[in-house]
């Protein structure tokens, strides 16, 4: 039996060792209606061998990471959502680099909270029991990894990974600033 907390089927393209063939792991006939029955959830969770968890901004907000849509959704006079696009980078790469530099600097001061830690502990326990666990996050702050989670899919990427627009090379970079031009910004 498998439990699926939330995952769009288009994510099948991600090649995690135990998610190949996800359609057969999560057949349509096993989907159930939403429920707040905690006892039923515990029973299903206990019987499941494949656990997928989806997290979003609320998890990291507890650590002090501002959300795009909350009160901290503006950076200077810009709407953060408007800067977080390839089109914005094409129009004004310096501004976008500065925006992400600000976000990186902010996140570097934050620590995982109890929710991040609980998910890492859950993953560890489930692995010891021989079960599969995948944490899919919309967050780009790396706090799940910092808390100890191993199987993490960062849907929107990471503040600490850069990709060359010419060759596609991806590299992790935790330098601060990421480049000399951002010093003192």
pLDDT tens digit sequence for 95-146: 888 888 888 999 999 999 999 999 999 999 999 999 999 999 999 999 999 9
pTM of the model: 0.76
Half-sphere exposure of 185 (CA within 13 A, CB side): 22
- Which whole-number Å values give the CA distances from 172 to 19, 128, 142, 169, in the listed order? 25, 29, 11, 10
Domains with residue ranges and CATH for the chain? 2-182 (3.30.1600.10)
156 classed as catalytic: yes
Point out the catalytic residue in the list 101, 116, 144, 156: 156
pLDDT digits (tens, 9 = 90+) for 13-56: 344 444 554 444 444 445 567 778 888 888 988 999 999 999 99
Q: Above 90 in pLDDT, residue 79?
A: no
Max CA distance (Å), the chain: 56
Let me know: does 136 contact 54? Beta carbons within 8 Å.
Answer: yes
Residue 117 makes CB contacts below 8 A (sequence gap 6+) with 147, 148
């Amino acid at each position: 039996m498998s439990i699926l907390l939330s995952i769009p089927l288009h994510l099948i393209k991600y090649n995690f060792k135990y998610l190949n063939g996800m359609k057969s792991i999560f057949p349509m006939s096993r989907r159930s209606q939403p429920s707040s029955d905690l006892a039923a959830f515990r029973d299903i969770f206990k019987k499941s061998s494949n656990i997928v968890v989806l997290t979003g901004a609320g998890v990291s907000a507890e650590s002090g990471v501002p959300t795009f849509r909350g009160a901290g959704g503006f950076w200077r006079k810009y709407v953060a959502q408007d800067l977080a696009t390839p089109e914005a980078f094409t129009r004004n790469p310096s501004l976008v680099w500065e925006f992400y530099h600000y976000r990186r600097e902010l996140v570097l001061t934050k620590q995982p909270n109890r929710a991040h830690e609980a998910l890492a502990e859950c993953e560890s326990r489930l692995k010891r029991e021989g079960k599969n666990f995948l944490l899919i996050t919309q967050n780009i702050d790396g706090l799940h990894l910092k808390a100890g989670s191993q199987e993490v899919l960062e849907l929107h990427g990471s503040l600490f990974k850069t990709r060359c627009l010419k060759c596609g090379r991806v590299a992790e970079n935790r330098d601060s600033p990421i480049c000399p031009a951002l010093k003192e910004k």
